[in-house]
Amino acid sequence: MKKKILIIGLDGGSWKLYDELIKDGYMPFLASLRESGASGNLISTIPPQTPVAWGAFQTGMKPGDLGYVDFVTLDLENNKLGIVNGKNLPKTIWEYFSEQGKKVVSLNVPMTFPPRKVNGVIISGMLTPGIDSNFIYPRNFKTEFLNNNPSYHIFQLSRIKKDFSYKEIDRYLLELRKIIDTRKDAALYLFDKEDPDLMMVHFQVTDILQHPYWKKLDKNHKDYSSEAYNNIGNNFYKFLDNRLQSMVNQIKSTHEDLLVTIISDHGFQPHDKRINLGDFLSTKNYCIRNLNSSNSFKSLTIRALRKFDLLGILKKVFKDKWLNAVEKATQPILWSKSKVIAIGRSSYGFIYINEKLVKDKNSFRKELIMNLEELNQLGTRKVINTIFTKEELYKGSRFDSLPDLIIVPEPGITFSGSFSDQGKGDLLVEGLEDFHQGIHHLKGIYIFAGDGINKNFKSDISIIDVFPTLSMLAGLPTPETDGKRCKELVNEG
């Protein structure tokens, strides 16, 4: 098989929701595509976080070979906090296909900034600093691209609350529809211009819609609203489905044998409660707050991300010293006196042990696990499913960068490295802010549809299997990844 491949990324896509939308007639194109191809759950990474999962898709590698589990990385050796980006990734699918002589286009995929050199075009997605940055490879294509796509939208995580009216549903849906259209137009423009063998267009809007509205969309949740569900079904998913159909049909009008792949990085579930690990660890004196810091005690992650726009500019000025700039901007704790530091927000719990202060790491870790288990007794329900040591979950070339303990939460629960404001010590955050009503789930989605695809194949596959499987479908040798080629996806003979 040596046909063209189109990958469509739907961030946070979940069969739990799409099955309902299909049943209610809001996604007829997705339904027909699934009918005509192989499909199932795409199992995400542990944890099912956007930058980890899209990093795993692009490289076929697990977190042990990626070296990060969150938006933020921690380097305790040098007391440095950093934000992940495309630089953290080993060889990507775009580079591999390029090396094999294929032309590639990657549009708006998270973790592609700074864009790497490829045979084709990369326009980076989530974690791109902004329109002024070099977010397009090749660099000299930027002006031409923006001239042809004047309303092109760069998704900036730190600007969600500034750029979107997510509390006013009808305005929000309008804003998101506009982005769907500009993304689709940019995809068709690039396909036409580049004639790529492998092209991906990624839609972030699905995730940022589902975060604030998941409970209203979830028919099993007590906050489900048929009015909101039908409004969003009509004015978002039906629109998205229609635009995907017109995009695919337009490409198919000249490339009838197009292979269409749809993937998501994780599914969704209702979010009930967030646990501030920072508070817990500081009441136990494991983590010492910097009371002289001018910062209020917000999460390390949020602080770092909020500074990110600014840091894009700082980075230019300070070049390789930019991590130090991040560190200075985010100092709510005394690194030199803290035995542990927790990172992350609305995800699994991640705890690093400061080996400069802890002599016997193994016995300290046992003590820490015992103490953490107290969290299950504090509220009305169990919050921790399992606490893993990093050896239990991960292995790989970048194992050393990973946190020492990983707390897997019960459904509906998340952890963060945060401290509550002014040190009141609220260990359990009861009222979640509006945006995080939904949270990620391990089960994402996939569809492979096209000639030669076995439409009876309906098993779950892993997100790290997509890269080697697409290489197989493109007739390329097997790349070196942690994933496997799903041969059952192809019809025999």
Nearer to Zn ion, 202 or 339 (CB): 202
Q: How far is the CB of 44 from Zn ion (least distance, A)?
A: 9
Residues contacting residue 53 through CB under 8 Å, at least 6 positions apart: 44, 45, 265, 266, 444, 463
Cα–Cα distance measured from residue 480 to residue 300, given in angstroms and rounded to the nearest whole number = 35
Tell how far CA 421 is from the center of its chain.
Answer: 27
Which residue is at the shortest CB distance from Zn ion? 50
Q: Which is nearer to Zn ion, 206 or 282 (CB)?
A: 206
Among 95, 207, 218, 272, binds Zn ion (CB under 5 A): 207
Task: Select 116 or 441, whichever has its Cβ closest to Zn ion.
Answer: 441
Distance, CA of 188 to CA of 248 (rounded, Å)? 9
Residues in contact with Zn ion, total (CB under 5 A)? 5
Name the residue nearer to Zn ion (CB basis): 70 or 207. 207
- CA–CA gap between residue 448 and residue 149 (Å, rounded): 29
Q: How far is the CB of 267 from Zn ion (least distance, A)?
A: 10
Cβ 147 vs Cβ 67: under 8 Å: no
**In angstroms, what is the minimal distance from the CB of 11 to Zn ion?**
4
Give min distance, CB of 441 to Zn ion, in A. 11
User: Is 49 or 73 the residue whose CB approaches Zn ion more closely?
Assistant: 49
Q: How many Å separate Cα 441 from the centre of its chain? A: 11
Q: Shortest approach of Zn ion to residue 50 CB, angstroms?
A: 3
Minimum distance, C-beta of residue 128 to Zn ion, in the bound complex (Å): 15
- In the bound complex, what is the minimum distance in angstroms from residue 236's beta carbon to Zn ion? 17
- Looking at beta carbons only, is 7 or 258 nearer to Zn ion? 7
Residue with tokens 């993304």: 183
Which residue, 191 or 348, is less far from Zn ion as judged by CB? Answer: 348
Alpha-carbon gap, residue 8 to 37, rounded angstroms: 14
Annotate 325-350 with three-state secondary structure.
HHHHHCCCECHHHCCEEEECCCECEE
Give the shortest CB-231-to-Zn ion separation in angstroms. 23
Sheet holding 413-416, edge to edge: 413-416, 273-276, 428-429
Residues 302-341 that bind Zn ion (CB under 5 A): none
Q: Considering beta carbons, is residue 133 or 346 the nearer one to Zn ion?
A: 346
CA 329 to chain CA mean position, Å: 24
Q: Is 265 in the site for Zn ion (CB under 5 A)?
A: yes
Phi and psi (nearest 5°) for 8? -110, 120
On the CB side of 86, CA atoms within 13 Å amount to 28
- Answer for the pair 70, 343: CB distance below 8 angstroms, yes or no: yes
Residues of span 25-84 touching Zn ion by CB under 5 A: 50
Exactly one of 6, 7, 11, 490 binds Zn ion (CB under 5 A); which one?
Answer: 11
Binding segment for Zn ion among 35-43, 204-212, 377-385, 388-396 (CB under 5 A)?
204-212
Residues 453-482: x where in contact with Zn ion by CB under 5 A, - otherwise, as a string: ------------------------------
Binding site for Zn ion (CB under 5 A): 11-12, 50, 207, 265
